[in-house]
């Protein structure tokens, strides 16, 4: 998958994306890299945090769209993106939006 492109979207590449891509490519890396990723994110200003959050949301949307190609791989990638979003932001933007719509 083209993780860097999905994370970046139409915006600028952030240094933190490199660490996130490692986790998305190999879920076994997530436990060791979650703390450095979170610590990096804690130094971000509001616009940078918003950019990061939407990057993680883009990954979740991308995996939903492409889940029929390899369901197990898509679930692992989505899991990594959701864990990072929950740890950094305390909740999932898509989950909150879905609940609000109900």
Closest CA to 78 of 51, 101, 59, 52: 59
pLDDT of 96 > 60? The answer is no
* Domains of the chain by residue range: 3-101
Give Cα separations from 40 to 17, 67, 80 (angstroms). 11, 30, 17
pLDDT, one tens digit per residue, over 11-63 is: 999 999 999 999 999 999 999 999 999 999 999 999 999 999 999 999 999 99
Q: Output 101 or 93, whichever has higher pLDDT.
A: 93
The whole-angstrom separation of Cα 33 and Cα 24 is 11
Length of the chain: 102
């Amino acid at each position: 998958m083209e993780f860097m492109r999905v994370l970046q979207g139409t915006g600028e590449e952030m240094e933190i994306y490199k660490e996130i891509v490692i986790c998305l490519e190999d879920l076994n890396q997530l436990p060791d890299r979650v703390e450095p990723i979170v610590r990096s994110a804690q130094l971000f200003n509001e616009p940078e945090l918003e950019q990061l959050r939407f990057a993680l949301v883009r990954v979740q949307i991308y995996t939903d769209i492409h889940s029929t190609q390899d369901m197990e791989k898509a679930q692992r990638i989505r899991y990594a993106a959701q864990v990072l979003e929950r740890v950094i932001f305390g909740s999932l933007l898509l989950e909150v939006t879905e609940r609000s719509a109900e």
